Every structure is written in C-alpha cells, then in structure tokens.
Chain A
Amino acid sequence: MRQTIRRLLVWVCGLMAWQTLGMAETPGLVAIQDARVVTVSGAVLEKGTVVIRNGIITDVGASVAVPKGAWIVDGKGLTVYPGLIDALSTWGIPEAAGAASAAGATGRGAAPAPPSAAPGAAMASAPRSWGPQDRPGTTSWVKAADLVKPTDRRIETARGAGFTTAITFPKQGLVAGQGAVVNLGGESSGQMVVDPSAGLYLSMTPSGYSGYPSAPMGILAYFRQLWIDAEYYKTAKALYAQNPSAIPRPEYDRALEGVLEAKRVMLPAASPIAMERMLKLASELKSPFIFYGVTQGYEMADRLKQTATPVILNVKWPTRERDADPERVDSLRTLEIRDKAPTSPAALAAAGVKFAISSDGIDTPRDVIRALKKSIDVGLKKEDALKALTLNAAEIYGLASRLGSIDKGKIANLVVTDGDLFDDRTKVKFVFVDGVKYIPPPETPAGPGGGFGGRPTAAPGEEN
C-alpha cells in the first residue's frame, strides 16, 4: 500500500515538474511569505517574500504582492537562503560514489598504503605509456554532463544538507574530463544540467596507465606538452582549412579536441609549494584556471590575490592521523599547518580572493557546513562563509546571472531552514531546485552517506 502511494506521489510530482516546465499555471507558482530572506547579493530581509514562477525567482522583497493563485508557504520562523553550491564535486555521477568515499577514507596528507594486491593487478592491466604521444590518463573528451544521473543516491543526501547545485567532475586520470554544472533535482539527466562545460579537471595523481609520467615532474612536463600539442593541432587545422592541397591533413585527436574545448582548467594546489608550481604551469598553459585544494591558503592569500586566482577550497581540514604511533611527534611545520588550515577561508576573504567550497573528501554533505563552521569559530565572517557556499561559486564559473543569490530572474534554487545555517541544531525544512520543492525526511542519526534524504513532494508536510 505504502509502495503504491509512493509511486503515485512520484507520478504526481513528475506531472508537476512537467507542468512547471510546460505552462505558467498555479503549480508552478509559489510564494514563500513572511520569512527571513538571506539574499546574499543584498541586505537580509527580516520579513520578506520570495515568489517563484516556473522555476525562476520572479520577485523578492519586503513588500511583495503575492500573485493570485500562488501556493503560499508560511515562512514565519523560517529562513530562506539561496541553494548551496558544491563548487567541486562528483555528486550526480553514480560511478564516482564509491571512489569518492574511498578518497574520503584515506584523506589528505600521508595516505595509508593501498591494499597490496589490487593496485598491482590494475597496473598490469593498464596500458603502458611510453611518452606524451600515448596520452596517458587522458580522457579530456569525457563529460560529466553525460555521466550524471538523478538516481545517484548522494543527491538526496546533499539536498538534505541544503545543496541544490554541484559543479561535478570526472576525476579519474591526469586529464580527467569536463565538469558540468548540475542542479541536484529533476527527473532526467538532461534536466539536471545547467551548463555542460564548466572546465577541465587536471590531477597530479596518475591512474589508468602505467609508465610515463610516473613522477610529479613528469606529469607537469606532460601537461605542458599536451597543451603545446593542442595549440599546434589548432594551428594545423586552421592552416589546413585554408590550404588543403599544400598542408598535410592533421590527424584527428580526441584528447586534443577536449583540451581545446575546455573553458578553463582546474589545477590541484594544496600547499604553497604546489600553488607556486601551478601558477608557473598555468602561465605556460595560457588557459584560464581555478585552483582547487588550497588548504594552506592562509599562507598564500596575498599571492593568490595578486595573481587573481579563483579558489575552490577543500574544507576537509587536516587532522592528526588516526591510530598513529603514539610515540611519533609531528614536526612543528605539520602541527602549524593543522592548526592554521581552518583559518584559510578568513585569510582569503580578508585578502579579497574569490573562493568557493568543495565537498572533496567529505562523505556527509552536512559536514561541509560543519567544517566551515570551524572556520567561522576562528574568524571567518558568516556572510563570507555563506557567499563561499553560494554566490562566489556562481561567479567563479560565470553563472552569477542564473545562480548563487535570491534575486529576480535567477533559477529558483532555495534552501529553507528553521534557523541559522551554521548552527548545528538547525534543520533544513525544505529545498527548492529549479522551483521544485523537496522535503528532507526527518533526520536520522548521522552516518556516512545517511542522515538526509527526500523526494519531490506535492505540498509541504505531505512526505511519505
């Protein structure tokens, strides 16, 4: 019986979603009334109204006329925020779910030795690369937009923590593929995608091949050669197009096509040393770039500002290794890094560096907010924390006209809570993704991957 009701509900919402998209009728028209509205782009409205029509915010203000026929959500005691954005994610790509949680388990810093048998076997079966011409670990043509599915279980969990958008990337290999901006809702993969071309993900972790490049310096040299090859490919194609009889026809190369297609590159840079290396690499690639990681950003804030580097901050703060030898004493440097890493957001904000937040390495989406709370405790302003989770991400990816704040004309991605977002007792009452309302089920005891959920519902309070 319960099953039947569920199916019926899913069907109803499907219909609703269709209607939302299809026509400007009442189900697509919602007004959240008399709530505290944190617009992020402007002042906080202590008592405001937000009107959503067909998935778009059509009005917001302290004294907004509620259109006739709108569903009214009584916002008394509630706070409306723009939907949160995970600025570097794998959410939405079901295949990445296992990999992400494995990465989360090992964390950063001194990674424990991998199980002995598996990597060896993987190495033996992986293709042997003898040089850059073999395009090792390169799948630049792979697009996250083609991989996302609304069935990824992590979408529900993320929504339960208030996330409505993820910039999600394929992450396997050195040049893993193109990221996509996806909304964490919708009935089909295609509906989720806001922008299929967010940038090309580069990593310094070799996987998917054996042989060259095996060392970090080899990887850097490979990136340089790949971009040289791509630039050459572009020139050769142009010359050939003008002069097909005199110039040899360039060989089609999907790896280079992917590189040329990339709007920007995502570069890994956790420590100051890595950041300097990546600044140098970026100047050679001559492509717009974003740093990700930047856990030691507190040491490099001015340099990042001076180079106008946008940052996607990894908020899995380094901690003492669990089950470490109790006799071992970490170096002063290591201790200082662990102590200071959570001050990175405040330092970046103070220097005027544009930064957003990544869920990388964190299994429970709510923990992203908890991690940022730690930074608030050591000096980060709440406004800056919120901006990092919303508008900054939209701006970094060039989506500020559509996402990141509660403004007229933007996509209706909202999160409605019963209190301050950074207060651990606060509960997410519901979220809107593309104007469709989702209610997280009652909070279950926290655990990796669990705790939150929800599905589109027809009306408030009607879940299950």
Chain B
Amino acid sequence: MKALIGLLTMAGLCCAQNVTVIQNGIIHTVTKGTFTGSIVIRDGKIAEVGEKVMTPGGAKIVDATGKHVMPGIIDAHTHIALDSINEGSISVSSMVDIGQMLNPESKSIYQALAGGVTTANTMHGSANSIGGQNVVFKMRWGNNADGLVFKEAKPSLKMALGENVKRSGNPQGGGFQMQGTQNLRYPGTRMGVEDVIRDAYTRAREYQKEIKEYEAKKAKGEVALPPKRDLQLEPLVEVLEGKRIVHAHCYRSDEILMLLRVFDDFGIKGVVFQHVLEGYKVAKEIAAGGHSASTFSDWWNYKIEAADAIPYNAAIMQKKGVLVSLNSDDAGGAELGRRLNTEAAKVMKYGGLTEEEAIAMITINPARQMQIDKWVGSIETGKDADIVIYDKNPLSMYSKVEKVFIEGKQYFDRDSDVTARPKTEAKKNGLIQKEKETEKRNMPQTMPQTRRPS
C-alpha cells in the first residue's frame, strides 16, 4: 500500500514537472513521415508522437500551431567550441584528445544552437595524416565541458589526406610555424601520406600483438614486463578493433581509392569520408567498402584539390548507395553551422532529392554515421527530445529558429533572447563605467599642481 502511494506520488510529481507537450505543429519526424500533430516529452525523452496524443494534466504546453517541428540538427564535422584545433607538429598525433579542449564558454555553441544545431562532432584539424581524438557534444549552453559531452557517443579519430597534410610540415607550402630544415615534417607528398598511415597502423598492430603476448605469458605465470602504455597507439588499436570510428578528411578520388585500399588491408570498416568532394567519382567503391560520406552542399574551389567538385555530389553519392550527410566544417564561430537547414535544401535543387531526404542529411544520416542514431536524429518515441521549432518550413531561407530543446529542456528561445539584450547592454555599460571610475581614482597624482605666474 505504502509502495503504491509512493508510486502515485512519484508519478504525480513527475507528470507535473517533467512533461512538455509540443502541440499542433507540422512535425518532420524524418523517419516516420511528416504530419500535423503533437509530441509528448517526458524526462527528456520523446514519450509519444502522433496526430493525436494524450496530454497529461499539468504538462507544460508549447503551442506550435502553424510552426515546423524537426529533430535537432547534427553537424557531422565542425571545429567549434575548441581552444585548440591542430597538434600539427608531428604526422601522427593520435594521443591528443579534442575533448579536453572543449570550451563551454565559446559563443559558437550558442550560435549553433540558435541555428537549430543540437549535436555536433567537433574534430581535430587536418594538419596531419592522423590527427587527434574527436568529441561529440550537445549544445547544452551553460554547462561545463563535461556537461556538454555526448557520453554515449562512440569515440572517433580524425585522419586527413592531401594538401593540408603535406603542406603543414613543409616550409615551401606556406609554413606551419616551422623554420629551418631540421623542422621539416615528413611527408611532403601524397605517397608519403600513405606510408605514414600504413606505418602507424602497422605499429598499432605490433603493439596489439605485444599486449596479447604479455597477457598470454602472465596467464602462464611467467615473469614478464608488461608493454608500456602508448597513448599514441592506443586509439589506433581501438580503430583496428572497431571500437573507434575514423573520420577521414579527403578531396581527390585517387587518394580516396588509396585510403580505401589501406582500410581494406587493415580491416578498418565504417569510415566516414569527410569533405570527399570527388566522392561522386568513386561513390560505388565507397559504398562497397561499407563506408559513408559527409560533404558540403556546394562549397568548392578554395584550393586546387577542391577544384573538381560539383553541387550534385551529395545526391549522386546517395543514389549510388552511400550514406551521406552535410556538414559545416566551422572553426571559430558557427558560420555555416547555423544555416545547415538551407545547405540541406540545396540538394533538392541539385540532384532532385525529396524534402525528407534533404533533412535526413543533417539529422538522421549524420547520427547513423556517428552511431548515435539510437538516441538522436529523428522524432521517434524513446529518443532524446532534441527538437527545433521553426516559424516556417526549415528548408526555406526565410525560416527562423524560434525554440530549441535538448533532452526536453529549452536552451534557446528567440523571443527571450531579443528581450534580454537591453538588459545585457545595461549591465555591460555599468561595468565599463565602474572600471573607468576606479581607474580615475587610482591615477597616480604625480603632476604637482603648479600655477602659472599670471
């Protein structure tokens, strides 16, 4: 009896406090069609979604009549919210962890949030063949770094090919704070890039073998020294064992084919090819290897290896069976990242994809690539309530983000943002004034007050 009362009380409390219902919106579920209906959010999860839902008493109601509701955008490739992006001093810097560089105070997080992004994969840069460990995080603005991290997300590693990689360590190529010949960093050619990658994974294999041998010896009771933990090779072993996803920055079809062969040789699967502007030439090969692609809608020609790009890239790859997402590749501020919705719209013009397919490229597709689709990427019962409300169709360039929810909690509200601005301004001016007064008071009185003889 007591237990029953407890249960009832609990249920009562939970319903009154933790339920939000988004009512009467045009819901783009991405995976289950588009319809006018409502979403029930309980304890941060989507509890129910449909044309007619049960609205529990005491629930917080968000009226979305005439508005468009879609899952939070997932930016598959960005460099926002970071205090440093590249450890470019060496060609294999897999020991560095971008997760430790998350800056929760970076306003790029809020910018992305205001553009409907709720999850992002923020990555190591492309200065070297094997960069660092990336981090998937949610735009939970106001939390500390730990509070931003998408804890369930599978770890990943950045790799890169081509011009950035061979130029970064090479003074002729524009310099990476390198001076003098002793600072030349191998590789200086695309051939060298392949060699560096093969060498690294070969060393990782040996390291993996050493660990196994030691464990076998230990099991037999032999005296043995354990292999020394190697922070550079550990993540590479995880890649070999399928415990870590590879995101590989690439442009040209020939280097994509090269990398496909390397991955085949080392048994590495589920790689996400990033940028991949010539992916349309080798889409079948990418699909056959079980890999996927994350590209730009129509960004091209910013360097020689990006010259042979076409805006149909995403659509062609998709039609050839590649799982495709679109990303921002932002660094510093969330520039492209806050209008990924219109980036997605472009694949309808170039390639004739449907509305749903377009939205999928910035929601469920990146979620699948990052293997977080169990939690995010669509509006489905049981998933995290990461939801964006737009005033118009999100694929229209006239649409604006009105509200953003992450796990049911509202992190962005356009109206509150606008009304808060004068208050912030006043606070700022107050502090500036205070500082000026203190400075005046502390001014050393060095000049004696002498009077000119009149």
Residues in B whose Cβ lies below 8 Å from that of A128: 182-183
Q: How far is the CA of A128 from the CA of B89 in the complex (A)?
A: 10
**Residue count of chain A within 8 Å CB distance of chain B:** 44
Q: Name the residue in A120, A221, A277, A329 with the highest tally of chain B Cβ atoms < 10 Å from its Cβ.
A: A221
Whether B144 pairs with A276 at a CB distance below 8 angstroms is yes
CA distance A174 to B67 in the complex (A): 55
Say whether B101 contacts A212, CB under 8 Å: no
Query: What sequence of 0s and 1s flags, for each residue 5-49 of chain A, a beta carbon within 8 Å of any chain B beta carbon?
Result: 000000000000000000000000000000000000000000000
Known interface pairs A210-B183, A216-B101; A131-B90 also in contact (CB < 8 Å):
yes
| B231-A228 in contact (CB<8A) | yes
Q: In the complex, which residues 375-392 of chain B have their Cβ closer than 8 Å to any Cβ of chain A?
A: none
Q: Are B100 and A217 in contact (CB under 8 A)?
A: yes
Query: Which residues of the partner chain B approach A338 to less than 8 Å between Cβ atoms?
Result: 431, 435
B208 CB-CB contact with A under 8 Å: no
A-B contact pairs, 26 of them (CB 8 A): A124-B180, A128-B183, A132-B231, A210-B179, A210-B183, A213-B87, A213-B89, A215-B96, A216-B100, A217-B98, A217-B132, A221-B231, A224-B95, A224-B231, A228-B231, A229-B228, A235-B225, A243-B223, A273-B83, A273-B144, A277-B100, A277-B145, A332-B431, A333-B105, A335-B431, A339-B431
B229 at the interface (CB under 8 A from A): yes
- Please classify the interface of chain A as helix (H, G, I), strand (E, B), loop, or mixed, using the class held by over half of its residues: helix
Query: Given contacts A221-B96, A239-B225, A276-B146, is CB(A329)–CB(B435) below 8 Å?
Result: no
Q: Considering the chains assembled together, what is the distance between the CA atoms of A221 and B132 in angstroms?
A: 10
Point out the residues of chain A lying under 8 angstroms from B104, CB to CB: 273
For B107, the closest partner residue in chain A by CB is: A331
Residues of A within 8 A of B178 (CB): 210
**A130-B90, A228-B229, A339-B431 are contacts. A214–B103 as well, Cβ < 8 Å?**
no
CA A247 to CA B432, docked complex, whole Å? 67
Which residue in A221, A280, A329 is a CB contact (below 8 Å) of B432? Answer: A329
Q: How far is it, in angstroms, between the C-alpha of A273 and the C-alpha of B145 when the chains are bound? A: 7
- Complex interface: chain B residues within 8 A of A120 (CB): 179
Other-chain contact of A273, B96, B105, B231, B434 (Cβ < 8 Å): B105
CB distance from B286 to the nearest CB of A (A): 30
Q: Are B89 and A218 in contact (CB under 8 A)?
A: yes
Cα distance A273–B431 in the bound complex, in angstroms: 23
Q: Please, how many angstroms separate the alpha-carbon atoms of A235 and B229 in the complex? A: 13
Contact for A217 among B90, B101, B225, B229, CB less than 8 A: B101
Contacts of B432 in A (CB 8 A): 329, 335
A236 at the interface (CB under 8 A from B): yes
Q: How far is the CB of B265 from chain A (nearest CB, A)?
A: 25
Answer whether residue B396 sits at the interface, using C-beta atoms and an 8 A cutoff: no
Chain B 221-244 per-residue mask, 1 if CB under 8 angstroms from chain A, else 0: 001011011111000000000000
Q: Which residues of B contact A272 (CB under 8 A)?
A: 144
Chain B residues with Cβ below 8 Å from A247 are 223, 225
- CA separation between A216 and B99, bound complex, in Å? 12
Kindly supply a per-residue 1/0 record for chain A positions 232-256, scoring 1 wherever the CB is within 8 Å of any chain B CB and 0 otherwise: 1001100100010011100000000
Q: Which residue of A lies closest to B176 (CB)?
A: A214
Asked if A214 and B229 sit within 8 Å, CB to CB, the answer is: no
Partner of B89, one of A212, A232, A235, A339: A212
Bound complex: CA of A173 vs CA of B132, how far in Å? 23
Encoded as 1 (CB less than 8 Å from any A CB) or 0, chain B from 424 to 436 comes to: 1001100110110
Contact yes or no, A225 B95, CB < 8 A: yes
16 A-B pairs besides A129-B89, A132-B231, A338-B431 with CB distance below 8 A are A123-B177, A123-B179, A131-B232, A132-B95, A210-B178, A211-B90, A212-B90, A213-B96, A214-B87, A214-B88, A217-B96, A218-B95, A273-B144, A276-B144, A320-B435, A335-B435
Who on chain A is nearest to B227 by CB?
Answer: A232
- A225-B101 contact in complex given A212-B93, A218-B89, A247-B223, C-beta closer than 8 Å: no
Contact of A225 among B86, B89, B183, B231 (CB under 8 A): B231
With beta carbons under 8 angstroms apart, the residue of A218, A229, A232, A273 that contacts B93 is: A218
CB atoms of B97 and A335 under 8 A apart: no
Identify A214's interface contact among B89, B95, B132, CB under 8 A.
Answer: B89
Interface residues of B (CB under 8 A from A): 83-90, 93, 95-98, 100-101, 103-105, 132, 144-146, 177-180, 182-183, 223, 225-226, 228-232, 424, 427-428, 431-432, 434-435, 439
Neighbouring B residues of A423 by C-beta, 8 Å: none
Docked Cα-Cα span, A130 to B146, in Å, equals 31
Enumerate A420-460 residues with CB–CB distance to B below 8 Å.
none
What B residues does A220 contact at CB under 8 A?
96-97, 100
| Residues of A115-140 whose CB lies within 8 A of B | 120, 123-124, 128-132
Q: Does A462 contact B (CB under 8 A)?
A: no
Chain B residue numbers with a CB within 8 Å of A329 are 428, 432
Which residues on B sit within 8 Å (CB–CB) of A216?
83-84, 100-101
A335 to B426, CA, bound (A): 13
Task: With CB as the reference atom, state the residue of chain B lying closest to A280.
Answer: B100
Residues of chain B lying within 8 A (CB to CB) of residue A323? none
| Most chain A CB within a 10 A radius of its CB, from B85, B97, B98, B103 | B97
CB distance from A420 to the nearest CB of B (A): 20
Interface flag for A336 (CB, 8 Å): yes
Q: What residue in chain B is nearest A446 (Cβ atoms)?
A: B444
Q: How far is the CA of A338 from the CA of B428 in the complex (A)?
A: 12
- Determine how close the nearest CB of chain B comes to the CB of A274; give it in whole angstroms: 9
Chain B neighbourhood of A123, CB < 8 A: 177, 179
**Of residues 264 to 303 in A, which have CB atoms within 8 Å of B's CB atoms?**
272-273, 276-277, 280
B431 → chain A, closest Cβ, in Å? Answer: 4
- B84 engages A320 (CB within 8 Å): no
**Chain A's nearest CB lies how many Å from the CB of B425?**
9
Distance, CA A90 to CA B66, complexed state (A): 67
Question: Separation in Å of the B142 CB from the closest CB of chain A?
Answer: 12
Interface centre among A124, A211, A213, A217 (most CB of B within 10 A): A217
**In-complex Cβ contact of B225 among A131, A210, A212, A236 (8 A):** A236
Bound form: Cα–Cα A268–B224 in Å:
38
Closest B residue, CB atoms, query A216: B84
- With known contacts A329-B428, A333-B105, A215–B87 Cβ distance under 8 A: yes
Nearest chain A CB to B366 CB, angstrom units: 24
Determine the residue in chain A with the shortest Cβ distance to B178: A210
Which residues of A sit under 8 angstroms from B180, Cβ to Cβ?
124
| Structural contact, B179 and A124, CB atoms closer than 8 A | yes
Q: Tell me the minimal C-beta distance from A341 to chain B in angstroms.
A: 12
Across chains A and B, which 4 residue pairs bring their CB atoms closest together, nearest first?
Answer: A218-B87, A335-B431, A215-B84, A221-B95
Beta-carbon contact of B223 and A246 below 8 Å = yes
| Nearest CB of chain A from residue B420's CB, rounded to whole Å | 11
Partner of A232, one of B88, B103, B105, B229: B229
Query: Which A361-378 residues have a C-beta within 8 angstroms of B?
Result: none
Shortest Cβ distance from residue B132 to the other chain A in the assembled complex, whole angstroms: 7
Contact with B along A328-363 (1 / 0, CB 8 A): 010011011011000000000000000000000000
Residues from chain B with Cβ under 8 Å of A236 in the complex:
225
Assembly CA distance A354 to B220 (angstroms): 50
Among candidates B89, B145, B223, residue contacting A211 with C-beta atoms closer than 8 Å: B89
Residues of A within 8 A of B86 (CB): 215
Which residues on A sit within 8 Å (CB–CB) of B183?
Answer: 128, 210-211
Closest residue of A by beta carbon distance from B90: A212
Name the B residues within 8 Å of A225 (CB-CB): 95, 230-232
Q: Which residues of chain B are near A217, meaning CB under 8 Å?
A: 84, 87, 96-98, 100-101, 132
In angstroms, how far is the closest chain B Cβ from the Cβ of A362? 16
- A123-B179, A221-B97 known; A228 and B232 CB under 8 Å? no
Which B residues are in CB contact (< 8 Å) with A276? 144-146
Chain A residues near B132 (CB-CB < 8 A): 217
A214 touches B177 (CB 8 A): yes
Residues of A within 8 A of B97 (CB): 217, 220-221
| Chain A residues numbered 182-240 whose CB sits less than 8 Å from any CB in chain B | 210-218, 220-221, 224-225, 228-229, 232, 235-236, 239
* B87 partner residues in chain A, CB cutoff 8 A: 212-215, 217-218, 221
Interface centre among B104, B132, B146, B228 (most CB of A within 10 A): B228
